Amino acid sequence: MTASLDTSHLHDVHLWGALRPLVGGATSIPMRAATIRELFRKLSDEYPGMEAHIKRGVAVSIDGKIYRDQWDTVLPAGAEIYLMPRVPGG
């Protein structure tokens, strides 16, 4: 399921509140990425402070389905991408 670069699409990546200050307050940022891995890498490279959040745990909602771990998960064209805190359970 590993995607190559040529399958990457431009996404409007929505951020939850805690991440917004790191991108200057925006609720979403445009970002081209094929996979969660690429998305995380680019976020870490471009926005100082983002890496710490990602290390602590960020979940990625892709069209409402929440992914927590798998980096090679593909970000399909036109998908709604939402970054959320990782939630623990009981």
Interface residues with another protein (CB under 8 A) are 1, 14, 16-18, 21, 25, 56, 59, 61, 63-70, 73, 80, 82, 84-85, 87-90
Smallest distance, another protein to C-beta of residue 42, A:
20
Nearer to another protein, 30 or 64 (CB): 64
What are the tokens at 8?
């990457």
Smallest distance, another protein to C-beta of residue 41, A:
18
Cβ-based neighbours of 82, under 8 Å, separated by 6 or more: 13, 14, 16, 60, 61
Smallest distance, another protein to C-beta of residue 12, A:
12
